[in-house]
Amino acid sequence: MTETARTTVTINKSYMKLIEELVDVFGATKAQVISNIVEYFFNDSKNDPLLKKLRARKRKDKPPEKSDLDKRIQNYLRRADKIPFEIFIEHLKLDSEFVIEHLDDWAEKYDFMVIENKIIKTK
């Protein structure tokens, strides 16, 4: 059985009417219909670009604490000499614009260069 969590949602009346129409077709109760719609949305790969944009927006709006970010960068650079830029961004769980804004400062602070789209530690 899948682990689940409960939450309360507020839904516009027009959407609620649509949900009520789907009872017995897409679930036995309104709650089940909503749950199935949410699962369907997350499981549909056509929604991946939207989800990626939303995650990036969250990372941009709420970057990690400076001390946490410093630890992540130091640990990652300790393990690798050449890191593809996109992998670096993904590992840090940051928005690419945020990384680009801070790249010069970090390069100086952590002693690396960006060459051909790679983070390269200087020795």
Whole-model pTM? 0.58
Domain map (residue ranges) of the chain: 13-56, 63-121
- What pLDDT score was predicted for residue 95? 81
Over residues 67-71, mean pLDDT: 89
Question: pLDDT category, 1, cuts 50, 70, 90?
Answer: low
How does pLDDT run across 81-94, given as a tens digit for each residue? 899 999 998 888 88
How does pLDDT run across 108-117, given as a tens digit for each residue? 999 999 999 9
CA distance readout (Å), 118 to 40, 85, 109, 121: 37, 5, 17, 10
Work out the end-to-end distance of the chain between its first and last CA atoms, rounded to an integer number of angstroms. Answer: 52
Provide the mean pLDDT of the chain: 90
